[in-house]
Chains A and B, each alone.
Chain A
């Protein structure tokens, strides 16, 4: 029995190959994304162990995010460096967001991270940074650059270099006194820029006073272990500080970075998950067809006395072999994909990370076999049970089984669809905290529901499409073939539907955003020019521009009003994280035409705020109420003095300008400019740009260019999503090819017959092509419909939250998708149609 089934397997090389390809693709991208994430993490771990290579113990503030974080004094550092077993000591003075300007173009250097440090004449005693040429900075106006920084800024020793220092809120000019590199001959650790100031100057710049350090690192004398040194240093620690071994510090840092990279890995895994989900359809369909085609053979075995169990076991054994083989190949493919993607990504981001080797974690292996093996076995089991329930004689007589009722299937579909839609609705109204999970679960249920209902839809829709596309006799035969097994057509189409749905949803939401923005721009609020902060990091007061720069803007001809907008996301309102602004409310009211709904929109004093009506309603606040507002590490009671009408551009809590003292920095993140009617907008934009050129990453534009920029950002997002879903689409394409090929095998005799009664090769190609296009366009239409529906649900939720103002259909995109589906269908048909056309007529007729 086992031998018989294994031999049966090998005789069907084509079908076997198709099943294996289905599994390899689904498994490959899932394991690939896991391998990518793990390998990237290993690289970062490698980065931090390089940084901490000579560090035995690190002393840091227990609470570095405090409003007034604890600092080490020179005396503390001196005391700690005299601890027995300390070989080297280095006090750390450092900052982020310090950005050099290019000497050739005058533009800010765009690197992922702009680091700064303070060094004295001894340089880095722990040996991470090595001076390559020149001298360590000896004066307040000297800096040493890392080789990467020098390269990016086009600076050399002796160059005058403009450097933006966020603590100053402006750029200053320094003389480059030397160029440094990193241990091991590297120009940067990970593509960042590094500007090193003279120690005392750095302390003053970053901490406001000399002789203090944020943290310190210590090297151990030979024979003293990290743990031992940590114990000794702990005895001497000043309060508010903690000691960690170099190893612990490395782990902590790479975990923190891994977490921020985690979101990226999660997004990627989500897309890989979609691909695997689509792959499950493909695997299921493949096995379903294969087992159905073998039902005659299985019936023969049964007639010869094989038991029900034996037949099922034989099929399962096949699935086990194919699934195991496919999963293993898929895992190998996934590793290759992961490694390739990692190289590509590092290259694209310009991140020059130390290699951490390829990491294949247990999860990658586990998921590969879960998807590859278990899904395959389930996919084979269901049709095997069905096949074994057909009486042997009926199966052997090859009676064309009459259409089975789709009622049960449709009811099951409804049973998935309704709760799925319910979950989506629930998630979008924002009840409960596990919103993303509820949403994902809801969407999966909706997909399954629609997939189960799709055979019911297949008949009318394919008939209609066939009436449009199936011209000529060959076309008509293709339409009949697409209709003859609605389940097969539907499952194949449903695989395509999933990708198209997600893309359409994204396009619909994006289009709605875009037309909402256009509406706002059209609404002429009185704001003519916008100044936007850099997107290098989250706004917290440390990035942006000095609001004093707006005084200069105000002096420009034609400018009637300016408003500085301070924003921080390091904030909480009544305990929940929030995005807080601080601004002069009367100016904002004038420029944005804010409507007073309650209280008063007046100049705010310390601990006074206004909120939007939506928020007030949701939290049952009214003017006069007190609310706790946390900014950074501070927490204060604020009085609500006014409530304004929320708009898509203006929303959330607005504090008075005195609150900016509690922000991490005093930089404004956005600025708004009003002009006289008839003022020269483009000319003024250029002048404002000039004023803002000292602030890295700050962009200036009129309202329409802002709208254009936003639209482009959405287009980029939709394109990125489309590309990431490309794998899912590719698998769906393969699914169509698969179904067609298997159907052709099944219909060999019919192909011979139509050829015998005069259908030409071209006719056969057209017949297969029409079937393929019908499947593909049907899947696309399902996806577009479902995607527009989901998109509308999202848009409704976003409109309720006032993030956008209207729903708009992405007509152009939809047309492109349907057009692409046509092409997709033709491409999918190429190979199967060739195979069908090449069949020898006589052999096809005699085919058993």
Chain B
């Protein structure tokens, strides 16, 4: 395996809240191989979007990055100054936003929004060159070139999401973080947009982090899946291994809640309540909902450890289970 494109080490983010500190991302580490499609799944509030924003160093008060290091092609991002970090967004790491119904500036034409992105990354192109570049770009995400002269409200949901993808890939980034890129779309459009994303990813040779709830979609799209629970990665493994032999009891519950991959299910049917991040239990955050929790789970937070070759898991009981 070649060197990682993106490496995240012990990333920690918290939000200050009047009732206590919310540890939204609590010591997450993982790395991304070139061309890899990495999935990140977890319940709502488990810290997925926060992590995406933290990688881009876009956490604003009341949020705070408490620690951790992020490397892109070996360059440490936390060491960059503000301007260098700004230039690295989109050019190095691009985000496809979560709420893309509303992610485009409503008063600006699509073409202009792409032009803004190019201009602020030092691509001051003449009008005809710019127009040609945009006209080339739009078809790669399945949009007609004349969409450039339209406003967001003139586009359908799927088209808006494609426009966001177009902006995200316009500088050929090394890494694309797609935060639930299709959660606001209906199923048919979802598939089309995912197909588009898959295609541009292949063409660019970029690595992708796909954030989402939908295990069915994950299974179709990603190579490797990380499961987040309460701000921590509890299991990381190749998608095949996760589906056939989940190690963490939480992952097992997730997989079990899927009748079959053809009947796509969402991460909802787990018994018990999602944890309150500002008031986590001692020990493993999952233990109150865990069917196999023992005394050790109530005392000691499990660390991610390797189990053979195909993945890592953070569970004291992992070895004892098949």
A and B interact: no
